[in-house]
Each structure stands twice: as C-alpha cells, then as structure tokens.
Structure 1
Amino acid sequence: MTKIVVIGAGVAGLTTSYLLAQKGYDVSIIAKNLPGDIDPEYTSPYAGAEWYSLASKDEIFEQELDKPGYFELRKLAKDPKSGIHIIDSYEYIKFEDADNYEFPWFVDFVEGFEMINDRSKLPDDCKFGFKFSGLTATTTIYLYYLLNKCVELGVTYKRYKLDHINDAFSLHHSGEKSDYVINCTGLLAGKLNGVNDPLVYPVRGQTLLVTNTPKKQLTVSNFEGYDDEMLYIIPRKEGGTILGGCFQKHSTVQEVDTALIQRISERAVKYCPELIDPSINHNKNYLDIVKVNVGFRPYRKGGPRIEIDKQNSKIIHNYGAGGSGYQSSYGMSGKTIELLEKSIKLNGSKSKL
C-alpha cells in the first residue's frame, strides 16, 4: 500500500486526504494547525465558504477547478452532519456596471438560474440581478466533518511544525518512510524550507459574524472610493450570517478596522433589509454582531500551484487557492491525485493496494 504524507489540515489538505483514502492509499496528515485552531494563517476556518466561481469565461483551468465542487458539495449537503447549506444565491448589478457586465461562465449548469429584471425587487441603484441555487459550508463544522471522514477511512493526523518539506517523508504513522508527500500548506508554502515559494502572498479579509439570518446569499460589487471592498452576505445552516468584506493584497494587519465594520454593516442593511426584519427568522431589528474576523487568504501570483515538484518527483504541490479554497477543493484535489498517480507510474512505484 502506497504511503503518503499530506502536509496541511485546511480544506485542501483534508479534502485531498479524504479522496486519497477513498482510493485506498495509506495517508498520514501532519499540520501546524488542526480543525478547532484559531490562527490568522490557518485560513480555512475564516472563509465565507460559499460556492461562487470568480473565474472568467477565458479561465478554463480555473473553471475546471471550481466546477466539481458545486456538485460534490451539493451531494454532501444531504448529510446533516456536513454543515453544508443549500440556499439561493443572488447577485445585484449596479447601473454603472450593467452595460459592460459579463455573466458568469457557470450560468448554464447551476440549478435554478433566473434573471431578476423587476425593479421593484431590486435596490434603487441596481439595474438587474440574477439568482441560482447555491450553497455554503459552515467552516468549523465542515472541517471536522472532513477530518472524521478521513479517520473513518484510516487516515491518521498529527500536529507538527515542519522545518523542511523533506522532513515529511519520515513522519508517516507506520514508522516507515513515506512514498510520497503532498504539499497543501497554503500561505505557509511561502515560508516552508524546500518550497519557499516567492509567488505566495496574503490577501487580508475582514468579516462580521452576526446572529441575523436572511433567506438568501447576496453579492454586490463596486463601492466608489473602495476598490478593494465588496459586499457578500452568507447565511449559515445553523443560523447567523457572515458579512464581508475586503480584498487587501499583501496586508498582514491583524487589528480590526472599525471603519470597515461600519461600512459593511451599512451596506448589508441597505442591500438586504431582511437582515433586520423581525418577521424573518426571528431577526433582531439591528445587526447583532457576535464576532469580527480577520484572516489572510492564501493567494499565489499566476494562480494555484498543482504540479509535481521539479526537484523531487515524489512531492506533489496543491496550494494557492486564494479565496476559492472550498469551492475549488475537489477540483484541485482531483488534479493533484491525477499527478500523484502519474508520478507513481513514472517512478515505477508499487501498486497502492
């Protein structure tokens, strides 16, 4: 049985480990952070975790990463333990953006796509909108869910801070040298010796968790004077909502921006007044903020790195998802496993079973 060490226990590492275990590989996860930890560099718990692909119509590779997640996560939503929520996802398009607006590439396959042209159903500054049947995951619940799925299939996990990627080969739970290492370290790929990827950079996000719960997800872009901000409203299955946000490249500021809290709050109430409608989901008539979250998305210049290491063909890289970690998790993991099996053939490794 081929022995594999997966580095990282964010959504990328856990999804990759889960799919590997399903295929019969002997997997150990090693990670600095595990589900339940709070660390700005451990991005997965901070994510909005909705499915909404930002790939353009020309970005075919990115589309291939995002599309599988729509179907796989909807399947998992049937399990109440997953924390995945099927919910209508809306986008409103402002007048100044309407003439040049390019509809998302995914409108032909998502379920329930519908245009919104009735102005009485739109904010005053929006010309049209659309909706489709979307989904979101409660990150803390879903990460534990994935970890438990892994354990049920024999995957082990251990907290460990690597000094060098090559050290991972000696950390398989069997005590024997691992045959392969899969690198799902996210932001830490920029710091891990043996990888030290200079193309990795953080993108700061700040969100609010509120108890208020609307009946839909919502995205609105283009706020004058704030080019790196947008509004997204992402209700959770258990109640409560994530309100965001910002997209601040190369920022590692952990302190909360109080002015941004105010802007997010005002935008959320303007574009989704049902958030403070007591007749809907027992909402309070004000935004009831539970927590302000600051986290750092693991972006990479040029896009995700999914490739066999050029120096060691027994190391496969899978990181750099940016803000698309959940929706691209199945696509990225699937391509990573394809590369792994290609490398196994090239190396003449023994069968996994």
Structure 2
Amino acid sequence: MAGKSHIVIIGAGVTGLTTAVFLAEECYKVTIVAAHVPGDSSIEYTSPWAGAHWHTHATRDNPVECDWDIQTYDYWLEILQNEKKDPQLPRSGLKLMTAYKYWDFPTTTDIWWSPYVKDFEEVNASREPIKSINKRAREGEPMIVDAMMQKEFAINVPQYLLYLQERARKAGAEVIQQRLPIESGLNNAMEAAEGHAVAAGRGNADCFVNASGLGAGKLCGDQAMYPIRGQTVLVKGEAVNPYTRSGKDYGSYCIVRPGSGTSILGGTREADVWDETPDPAVTQRIIKYAAMNVPELLTGPDGGFEVVSVQCGLRPGRKGGPRIGIEALDGYKIVHAYGHAGGGYQNSIGSARLVSKLVQESLSSSTQAVAKL
C-alpha cells in the first residue's frame, strides 16, 4: 500500500461498499467511515431494508442509469459464474431466478432492457402461472392482462452487504464505525472522518467519496434529497418465482431472499414520509395482493402467510436523480455518490465504476470543477 492514494468513503450502504470494493481492488488505500455497517438495522441505514432484486427503474431517456443497470446485471452474472467454478469462494447471496412482471391492464411500458437480460419473453395470459392466478381471483378482484418473464437477480441483502464488506477488507480496506457530525456540514464531517482514519493509523485522506445516502440532505445541504418510505412484510418460505404486479390503484411484489428461507412482500413508495412505524392497514393490503400471486407461501396454520416481521425503510430519493460528481471544497477533494432512490442495488456496479473513474480524475486534477448528474 506504500505510496498509494488514500480514499476515505463516508457511508457503508450498498453504494459505499461497492465503491470500496472497486477502489480497494484497484489498489487504492480505502477507509470506510460510517455510523452503521452490515449487521445493523437502524432506520437511518437504508440498504438492509431493501428487498432487493434486479428490476430496472431506468427509462430510455436516462441512458446513464440504463447503462449502470446493465453493467450490474452482467457483473452479477460473472460473480455467479465464478462461484460455480470455485465452491471455496465466499457466497454473495445472489441468485438468478425466473421472475414475472404482471399488469392488470394493457401495458405501454417501453421494455428497453429485453435484449440485455436472459430468457426474456412476453407471456400470454392463457399461460401458466398467469392462468392459475386469474382462475383463483375472486369476484371483484383484478385480473392479469399483460405479462412478461425474464431471468432476474434476487438478493439476500444481509448476506450481500457482508460479502461486499469482507471483499473490500480482503483487498485491504478498513471499516471504522463512527457517527459523523453531518448536521455540521460537509467540511466538518470530512475533517472528523479523516481524524478517525488518522487515529486508526490509516493517515490523511487524499480524496473522499460521499456515499452518505439520505444523510446527504443534511451533510451537503442538498435540498433535492427526500425520503421515499417503503413498507414491506418478511414471510417464511422462498417463492418459486419472484414477481412485480402493477394494478390500477396498487402495486405488489414478492422478492426472494435466497438461502434465507424467507421472501419479502411489498410494498409502498411514499415520498417525503419519514415515519418508520408500519401501518397495519398497509400490511393487510400487502398480504392481500401477495396471496393472489404466490400461493406456495401460504403455509401458516390459518392458511395465510407465516409473517416474520413488518418493517419500513427510507429510500434516498433525489429530485433530478443521483448525484455523481467531483467537488473541491476548502482543500478537500471529494466525489459525491448518493441519491439512488430505489435503484441502489441495480445501479451499484455501474455507479461504482463511474465513481472510481472520477476519483482518479480528482486525484490527478487541481481544478475546482464540479460535475453533477
């Protein structure tokens, strides 16, 4: 590590950890400073609350995020291929599964990603499993009209975050769990983070990466940041086929957490809502619509789901999309990487590669230019 630039990353969510992996494996000296790390379950720590799966939210008019998502899909395929070749490698918690997307109305969605995923196919409503789902619908309940299927990644989120953390550590990164004074502004937070790194024997920072997620609102005074509250239900059993379903006045999904014996049912997207308390009425709505689509999980003694927990998480929304860019501030060099909303996991590889490139540019530049997305 002698002579290598020292990068201090603020935040240990999926964005910060993925960036740490790329930078450490490129032989930078990497120190992560964060209030919460894998294994924690604070409402402030967004990444563990995710479902999560590869299900792109990007649209054709945003080619950057489309590209990030495809990069992530391809990279995860490589991870699974490597795990298959070498059983001794740490398991990532990723699984490629046949997943379905249902619509209760004729869809006009531009499915731009179909050439980039495995086994994409439009599915007629007369085929299984749509035929059986519609047959089970009671009077007054919605019916599936349009559908598609594809190979899609399901993620055991706690396992994947630990996998990223340990992979970064194996490449020489160090994780320091410390709360930074984000309310005091970016300068003070960077000074404090650097102080923790120095105290740990890591030395001064040559560049910072700000992957603080929703905390960037206070940290950077970024008024474009806002929470997107999501409520989910964790149930026993792993669904045969994950799904998302769009109704006229509701949304429903089931995401498997591979190897955990559980699946996540969802969910909601409530902008500008900070409350972390689950709403019992929302829980019942989630359960009602999920029961129509994954009957194999109805294993409870009463014929319903075996509920493990109900939880809320706050996605880091940002008006105008994620902020990925270079800033020079009072002698500090920093690359911002936050505001990925509900796309943090599928954005993660493409986003981290761009951040790595910008770190290199920042280190080689003495300009005060600011780049933003």
| TM-score (norm: length of structure 1) | 0.90
1:174–1:235 CA distance, 2 compared to 1 (3 A): same
1:148–1:131 CA distance, 2 compared to 1 (3 A): same
Structure-2 separation of matches of 1:263 and 1:175: 50
Q: By how many angstroms is 1:347 displaced?
A: 3.1
Aligned residue identity for 1:3: H
Structure-2 separation of matches of 1:275 and 1:162: 42
Structure-2 separation of matches of 1:242 and 1:12: 21
1:309–1:214 CA distance, 2 compared to 1 (3 A): same
Aligned to 2:287: 265
1:144–1:110 CA distance, 2 compared to 1 (3 A): same
Aligned to 1:318: 337
Aligned mate of 1:338, from 348, 352, 357: 357
Check conservation: 2:31, 2:202, Cα contact below 8 A. Answer: no
Aligned to 1:67: 70
Aligned mate of 1:170, from 181, 188, 195: 195
Aligned mate of 2:79, from 76, 79, 102: 76
SS in 1 for 2:146: strand
Aligned to 1:101: 108
Aligned residue identity for 2:338: Y
Asked whether 1:136 is paired with 2:154, we answer yes
SS in 1 for 2:42: coil
What runs of 5+ residues in structure 2 fail to find an aligned partner? Answer: 84-89, 135-142, 182-187, 368-373
Asked whether 1:329 is paired with 2:354, we answer no
Q: By how many angstroms is 1:85 displaced?
A: 1.4
SS in 2 for 1:102: coil
Aligned to 2:271: 249
Q: By how many angstroms is 1:165 displaced?
A: 3.0
Aligned to 2:101: 91
Check conservation: 2:176, 2:196, Cα contact below 8 A. Answer: no
Aligned to 2:87: none
Check conservation: 2:70, 2:116, Cα contact below 8 A. Answer: no
Q: Deviations over 1:103-123 (max 9, x none)?
A: 321101100111111425324
Structure-2 separation of matches of 1:242 and 1:25: 36
Instruction: Answer with 210-219 or 16-25: which moved more.
Output: 210-219
Structure-2 separation of matches of 1:171 and 1:333: 24
Aligned to 2:325: 307
Q: By how many angstroms is 1:4 displaced?
A: 0.8
Aligned to 2:247: 222
Aligned mate of 1:5, from 3, 8, 21: 8
Aligned residue identity for 2:254: I
| Identity within the alignment, % | 34
Check conservation: 2:7, 2:205, Cα contact below 8 A. Answer: yes
Structure-2 separation of matches of 1:128 and 1:255: 34
SS in 2 for 1:18: helix
Check conservation: 1:4, 1:28, Cα contact below 8 A. Answer: yes
1:111–1:242 CA distance, 2 compared to 1 (3 A): same
Q: Which residues in structure 2 correspond to 1:115-130 (within 5 Å)?
A: 115-121=122-128, 122=130, 123-124=133-134, 125-130=143-148
| TM-score (norm: length of structure 2) | 0.85
Aligned residue identity for 1:162: L
Structure-2 separation of matches of 1:28 and 1:270: 47
Aligned to 1:232: 253
Aligned residue identity for 1:88: T
Structure-1 separation of matches of 2:98 and 2:19: 28
Aligned to 1:351: none
1:275–1:223 CA distance, 2 compared to 1 (3 A): farther
Structure-2 separation of matches of 1:175 and 1:93: 52
Asked whether 1:43 is paired with 2:46, we answer yes
1:4–1:171 CA distance, 2 compared to 1 (3 A): farther
Aligned residue identity for 1:81: R
Q: By how many angstroms is 1:237 displaced?
A: 1.0
Check conservation: 1:212, 1:287, Cα contact below 8 A. Answer: no
Aligned residue identity for 2:204: K
Aligned residue identity for 1:73: W
Aligned mate of 2:166, from 133, 148, 163: 148
Aligned residue identity for 1:181: F
SS in 2 for 1:309: strand
Aligned mate of 1:180, from 193, 204, 207: 207
- The aligned length equals 335
Check conservation: 2:225, 2:339, Cα contact below 8 A. Answer: yes
CA RMSD of aligned residues (A): 1.9
